[in-house]
Amino acid sequence: MSKRFDDQPIIRHPSAEQAWDIDAGLRNYMIKVYSYMAMGLALTGFISFLTASSPTFFQAIFGTPLSWVVIFAPVGMALFLSVRIAKLSLSAAKTLFWAYAAVMGLSLSTIFYVYTGQSIARLFFISASVFAGMSLYGYTTKKDLTNFGSFLFMGLIGLVIASIVNLFMQSTAMQLILSCIGVLVFTGLTAYDTQVIKELYYEGDSTDISGKKAIIGALNLYLDFINLFLALL
């Protein structure tokens, strides 16, 4: 028995208005992510500069065992935020992100005693240019970067292990090699993380969950930028 035409499933295509709403929503979501990231970087830079500008305060931190807390605290805070984000309220997640950016500023204040302000500013803008280009690529490309991201994550683990080993070896040559690898890894991760952030938006979560995802997305991009900057520096 033949099936009637009106029994066929109806395929509904999104209207131009619906497509515009999706694009506008994605654009607003990405703007929120980049805004969190930019404000985090601004807070880090401000705290870092103020700390370096006060020899007394700087010595009170890095001339005592407190320096180890400042150095390793950002790692613990980032892990805690990533793992516990679902349990935290949106306001608590934001507060922890700002606290993380501030502590990172304390940790990075040492670069002002190692490099000139001109070098720091020049490499900051170079890092910003590379980051912007790769993030734009991750946002616009139709290519699935999942396998690429897995490869980069393995490279990141190897980079961390090698960096820890080099803390004891103090090899200048190895440090140069690790810096070059770091530039490649974090440049690629910028594109990958941007695509992941974009894809997570389409899950259509509640406002609260969407806000938390924006915080985590900003944290990942913040880490990509900071590590890219340090590798170039």
The residue whose two tokens read 């140069």 is 176
DSSP classification of residue 204: -
Is 1 within the bounds of a domain? no
pLDDT at residue 12 tops 80: no
The structure's pTM equals 0.85
User: Rounded mean pLDDT of the chain?
Assistant: 86
Is 5 within the bounds of a domain? no
Phi-psi label, residue 204: left if phi above 0, alpha if psi -120 to 50, beta otherwise: left
Is 6 within the bounds of a domain? no
The mean pLDDT of 52-81, rounded to a whole number, is: 90
Q: Tally the domains of the chain.
A: 1
pLDDT band at 53 (very low <50, low <70, confident <90, very high): very high
Is 16 within the bounds of a domain? no
Segment 71-86, tens digit of pLDDT: 889 889 999 998 888 8
Alpha carbon distance 179, 43 (integer Å): 25
Alpha carbon distance 59, 71 (integer Å): 14
Q: CB atoms < 10 A from the CB of 210, how many?
A: 17
Q: Provide the residue range defining the domain that includes 116.
A: 24-232
Alpha carbon distance 3, 51 (integer Å): 76
pLDDT at 17: 47
Is 178 within the bounds of a domain? yes
Identify which has the larger pLDDT, 22 or 80: 80
Q: C-alpha 18: how far from its chain's center?
A: 31
Is 4 within the bounds of a domain? no
Is 19 within the bounds of a domain? no
Is 14 within the bounds of a domain? no
pLDDT at residue 136 tops 80: yes
pLDDT at residue 133 tops 90: yes
Segment 164-211, tens digit of pLDDT: 887 788 888 888 888 888 899 999 999 999 999 998 887 766 778 888
For 215, the 3-state DSSP assignment is helix
